[in-house]
A = this chain, B = another copy of it.
Amino acid sequence: MSSKEKILGTAIVLFAQKGYSGLSMRQLAQAVDMSVAAIYHHFPDKNTLYLEAVRFAFSDKEQVFAQVWESGCSAEEKLGGFIRSLIDVMLQDRDFHRLMQREILEADPERMQLLAQGIFKRQFSLLMQLATELAPEQDAQLVATSIIGLAKCYVEYQPLLKNFPGWKPKHEMPEVIAAHITELLLNSLRAKTA
């Protein structure tokens, strides 16, 4: 692994943990066991390093969902598969999830456009298409947003939910969460189309 990749990989983890201004170049340098100057040899400044780290983290996610779309399943099965894949990705790559949370929190308009157009557009369009198949008379963007929002909130609220009444260990199991969400959505979409 090249120095540059090592820096990027470590930066993802630390930026996700501490945020942009929370991570200093000195801390990053120590974590990759290099000098600050060595990092500045590979990246012109901190901001560019951050942007490259975000792109690096996103780069391998596109293909995870390909098999769902390319499977010969029914629309209902595809919905289940997509939800399960989404939860798995977020639970397995927590740093990726936290980086996304941070990006959305900062909500910089320029960065949002980059994220939407450059990274998520294709997946979102395919999901809207699926929503249209399942419930043609409903607003596809609203349905797609609900699907993503439902999946994401369970990953996001996990540390909080532990402290509420009614919590059970199975609430952290991806298959349980996915089943609940999928059933909720299919119940509703079926009722509507009926």
Q: Which residues does A use to contact B, with CB under 8 Å? A: 18-22, 98, 101-102, 104-105, 107, 109, 112-113, 115-117, 120-121, 124-125, 128, 139-142, 144-146, 148-150, 152-154, 156-157, 159-168, 171, 177, 180-181, 183-185, 187-192
With both beta carbons as reference points, the residue of chain B lying nearest to A102 in the complex is identified as B105
Roughly how many angstroms separate A102 CA and B102 CA in the complex, as a whole number? Answer: 8
With both beta carbons as reference points, the residue of chain B lying nearest to A117 in the complex is identified as B163
- How many copies of this kind of chain does the complex include? 2
Contact A154 B160 (CB under 8 A): no
Roughly how many angstroms separate A163 CA and B113 CA in the complex, as a whole number? Answer: 6
Min CB gap A36→B, angstroms: 19
Contact check: which of B154, B163, B165, B189 meets A145 at CB < 8 Å? B154
When distances are taken between beta carbons in the complex, the residues of chain B under 8 Å from A165 are 121, 124-125, 128, 141
A105 and B105 in contact, given A149-B157, A188-B184 (Cβ under 8 angstroms)? yes
